[in-house]
Structure 1
């Protein structure tokens, strides 16, 4: 048993040394209570912001070691339109593929050792969100927004 534990400890130590340092991320939301479309209830808004923050962390993990992604979200309009349902505490988000595409206004920068490598402010949007394949599951409530952010990150920030 001691031999197995020692082997596991050695492998874990080797992986810790060999693994590159994870890139950092700082995500802030400027006045989220004023965002265009984030849900009607506070718990819905908090859930959306938590999921988006987690997704930005996944994107930042693609950056080279030592780089930090800083994102300030200025506005969010989720895909579709939210419709209240009388018999449920959950609202229904109706996706019709018309003028209800997802978009976010972001201010961003990538920094390394105190130096700004890249920065900007832009509206990220996906007007064709229902007309293309999406790698996220149908049950993912932010599948269109995540795909939109993936495309933005790959086009604007990813290392080539």
Structure 2
């Protein structure tokens, strides 16, 4: 029969071991006030940051165990243009013209505390409304698709 302290210690050890094994993502946003086109209302800005952070966390699950993807967003220009409708809520309209999504980010992949590789990337998708987008109905779907393409081409291990 196990004592409660031993059971708790075993559960903590298991949680630490499994968290060290899985790949993770650390995402930050550098000076959102100076970014080209992000939501102006702080709740909408928090929502955008949450969506991108969660998306990159999901993508990082495809990395080898123990790796950490670190991403710093240096600039974001969301797809479409904003048309202020009321003081609190804006409307974003995408036309497929010169309003494509753009992102500038700095990234690194770390394994055991050492940088395996990294760099800066300037992402842009001028054809964002063409082709298949599995996030078409999602908030920031064009940007998520652009991040998917970057992750698949630049981050996933080449075989």
TM-score by length of 2: 0.83
Unaligned runs of 5+ in 1: 1-15
Q: 2:13 aligned with 1:41, yes or no?
A: no
Q: Which residue of 1 aligns with 2:98?
A: 99
Q: How many residues align?
A: 143
Pair 1:65-2:65 in alignment: yes
Q: After TM superposition, which residue ranges in structure 1, 4 or more long, deviate above 3 angstroms?
A: none
Cα separation, 1, equivalents of 2:40 and 2:26: 26
* Cα distance in 1, alignment partners of residues 21 and 115 from structure 2: 19
Q: Name stretches of at least 5 consecutive residues in structure 2 with no aligned partner.
A: 1-14
Provide the residue aligned with 2:145 in structure 1.
147
Structure 1 equivalent of residue 115 of structure 2: 116
Segment drifting more, 149-158 vs 30-39: 30-39
SS in 1 for 2:123: strand
Confirm or deny: 8 A CA contact 2:136 2:142 kept in the other structure: no
1:93 deviation in Å?
0.6
Give the TM-score, by structure 1 length.
Answer: 0.83
Structure 1 Cα separation of the partners of residues 41 and 113 of structure 2? 38
SS in structure 2 of the partner of residue 70 of structure 1:
strand
State the superposition RMSD in angstroms.
2.0
Matched, 1:134 2:117: no
Tell me the residue number matched to 1:4: none
Shift of 1:50: 1.0
